[in-house]
Structure 1
C-alpha cells in the first residue's frame, strides 16, 4: 500500500476529495488542506457531475479508443453478462469481498495481492463465478 504523501511515514488511508492526494490522518489532511491543496485544488478539482453522466462518458471513451485484440480479451457482451448476474450481485453484497476488491483496485502490487486474495474462500468463489459466466458463453458459442 502507498504511503502518506504528506508525512511520508504511514500508509495512506484516505484521499483528498479535491486533488486525490493520499494522506493517513486528520493532522496530515489539515496540513494538506491549509498549505498544499489551496494551491492545486483549482487546477485538479473535478467538476461535479452526476455519476450516470460520468459512466456514460467513460463508456464513450472506451468505445472510441483503438483496441488491440488478444486471445485473453473478453467480449463486451460477456462483460455485460457479468454486470447483470444476480449470483455475482449476491456475492458482491459481502462487505469483506467489497473491501478486498477496493484494496485490489488501489494497490500498487496487484499480482501479489491477487494471489493472496485467491486464498480467501469468498474471493475465490467470486473469481470462479466470473470465469464460469465468461467461459459458459464460449462453450455455448463454440
Structure 2
C-alpha cells in the first residue's frame, strides 16, 4: 500500500499534475507545492531506485481491465531492477532525461515515436525487453 509522498502517514488520494508525487490532502499539497519541480531535474549522483522517491507509482495506476493480459510477472520486474546492464545504462544522464521526458509527456505515443529515434533509448528498450520477454531459443543460440 502506498503512503502520502509528503506526510508519509495517510493513503494518497491525489497526484500532483506537475511532478506526479502522490499526496493525501490539501494541507499536504500546500506543503509540497513550494518544493515541486516541474522541469527536468539534474540527474542525481546516486543510482535511481524504485523506493527512492516516496511518490512512486504502482502498476495498478496504469492498468485498466483491458490491460490485464499485458501485465508483466513480478519476478520479471524484479529482474529489471537487478540487471547490471540496465543499471549501467541508467547511469547515463541523457537517458535519464529522456525517460523523465517520456514519463511526463501528455501524449505517450507521440513522445515514444521521438524517443525511439534515439539509439540510447532503443538500447535501453531492447535491454528491458530481453529481460521481460526473453526469446525462447535465446539460451540455445549462444
Please tell me the TM-score bracket, short chain as reference: 0.5 to 0.7
Partner in structure 2 of residue 90 of structure 1:
88
* 2:104 corresponds to 1:106: yes
Q: Secondary structure at the residue paired with 1:70?
A: helix
Q: Distance in 2 between matches of 1:81 and 1:113?
A: 26
Q: Distance in 2 between matches of 1:99 and 1:87?
A: 18
* 2:27 corresponds to 1:42: yes
Unaligned runs of 5+ in 2: 1-14, 19-24, 33-50, 138-142
Q: Distance in 2 between matches of 1:102 and 1:129?
A: 18
What RMSD over aligned residues (CA atoms) do the two structures have, in Å? 3.6
Task: Choose 1 or 2 for highest CA Rg.
Answer: 1
Q: Deviations over 1:46-85 (max 9, x none)?
A: 68xxx66947x966x96xxx98463322111101100110
Deviation at 1:89, TM superposition (A): 0.4
Aligned length: 96
Deviation at 1:21, TM superposition (A): 6.8
Q: TM-score, normalised by structure 1?
A: 0.53
Unaligned runs of 5+ in 1: 1-18, 23-39
Q: Distance in 2 between matches of 1:110 and 1:58?
A: 16
Partner in structure 1 of residue 114 of structure 2:
116
Q: 1:126 is matched with which residue: 121, 124, 131?
A: 124
